Amino acid sequence: MVLLILAGLFALIFGKITITKQLRLTGKKARIYGALLLVLSYPLLFITGLLLVPLFSFMPHSSFLETIFQLVGMSIVAVGLAIPFRDK
């Protein structure tokens, strides 16, 4: 969650962010994406936690797996949110 907030702040302040070589955001689109990351970072953590807790509650060391899957899920969502805003 902290990384999403930092990435959102960076995009909001500087107006550019590069996720991959083909996925770069600049200007107004980057600032909108940054604001979206800031607004959605906590709800994404909460939702992924709600979805993953029942899934891994029967496994030992489930908190570690839950954390890993939250990171993966939030990364997928962050990249998915950037696709509509990419520079063409």
Q: How many beta carbons lie within 10 A of that of residue 78, not counting itself?
A: 20
Q: Out of 3-7, 11-15, 63-67, 74-78, give the one with best mean pLDDT.
A: 11-15
Tokens of 22: 């083909």
DSSP state of 20: S
Shortest CA distance to 14 belongs to which of 33, 31, 32? 31
Over residues 72-86, the pLDDT tens digits come to: 878 888 888 899 988
Q: What's the confidence (pLDDT) of residue 72?
A: 80
Identify which of 4, 71, 63, 74 has the alpha carbon closest to the alpha carbon of residue 38. 4
